[in-house]
Amino acid sequence: MAEFNPAFAKLIEMEGDFIDHPDDPGGATNLGISLRWLQSTGDHDLGDIDGDGDIDYEDIRAMTIVDARKLYKEHWWDKYHYDALPDQAIANKIFDMAVNMGARQAHKLLQRAINSVMGKIALKDDGLLGPQSGQALQVALQNPPALLSAMRAQQEGFYRLLAVQNPKLSTFLKGWINRAVS
């Protein structure tokens, strides 16, 4: 079964410290946690990092690695049961993808990767990881390197399409591609 700590360590390698890039639709971001996402959770217990009663720019600035760890563990790792994945590298990749592009999109790409490895459409790419996805994943995991490669290809393709659809995001494409192939 996959463990959170190695997945978190790998994720943090990809994420940077505080940045407030004008082309980033997430707004101010620190350790991969964006202001837009933090506000969307409505979770004041975890999100009001500076303790002033709201979730704003200053909370992102004040975020520590400990704060980020709590948020990632609760809102991604535990929520989507990534610990149930039997392969650490696959768990690391899906966790990273979910954080970066949203869990539903990441899960769709995983389903497409599974279909690719299986050589047939075994799953509808609906982003819901239910029993059918779990069974198909077990089959695809007979060849973990092939599944990981297919996941990377799906991730890279997603980023390239995103940059074509919204040219302002092409600023981030090189970093995204590096992330996809890691």
Q: What is the pLDDT along the chain (182 residues), one digit of tens a residue?
A: 999 999 999 999 999 899 999 999 999 999 999 999 999 988 778 889 999 999 999 999 999 999 999 999 999 999 999 999 999 999 999 999 999 999 999 999 999 999 999 998 889 999 999 999 999 999 999 999 999 999 999 999 999 999 999 999 999 999 999 999 99
pLDDT of residue 44: 78
CB 151 within 8 A of CB 140: no
Burial class (CB in 10 A: 0-12, 13-18, 19+), 162: middle
pLDDT of residue 42: 81
Rounded Cα distance between 102 and 98, Å, is 5
pLDDT of residue 27: 92
For residue 45, give both structure tokens.
């217990």
| pTM, to two decimals | 0.93
pLDDT of residue 46: 80
pLDDT of residue 47: 87
CB 129 within 8 A of CB 113: no
How many helices and strands in the chain, by DSSP H and E? 10, 2
For residue 180, give both structure tokens.
């996809």
Question: Of 29, 85, 92, whose CA–CA distance to 57 is shortest?
Answer: 29
Rounded Cα distance between 122 and 36, Å, is 35
**3-class SS of residue 24:** coil
H/E stretch holding 175: helix 173-181
